Amino acid sequence: MSGEFIQPAEVAEITGLSIASLAQLRYEGKGPRFYKPTPHHVLYKRAEVIAWLEASARSTTAAQV
């Protein structure tokens, strides 16, 4: 299901990032799109997390100009 909502712990498993790193990315506006149904609850859509990862694909470590 492409609209499946997942919690930060599962996003951390998928991405290899820590939950704290995901929180920092949310703060900086740099991570995958997220949803806050309540002030203390964060959710992600699995398909959007995968799309965010795929968008980061690179063929070189050289700086992008």
Residue 14 lies in a domain: yes
Residue 60 lies in a domain: no
46 contact partners, CB below 8 Å, separation of at least 6: 2, 4, 5, 6, 10, 14
Q: What is the pTM of this model?
A: 0.84
Residue 64 lies in a domain: no
**Residue-wise pLDDT tens digits, 34-59:** 999 999 999 999 999 999 999 999 89
Of the candidates 40, 22, 42, the one whose C-alpha atom is nearest the C-alpha of residue 30 is 22
**Residue-wise pLDDT tens digits, 5-25:** 999 999 999 999 999 999 999
Domain that holds residue 51: 5-55
Residue 62 lies in a domain: no
Q: Which residues pair with 38 in a beta bridge?
A: 41
Structural domain tally of the chain? 1
Residue 63 lies in a domain: no
Residue 65 lies in a domain: no
What one-character DSSP code corresponds to residue 29? T
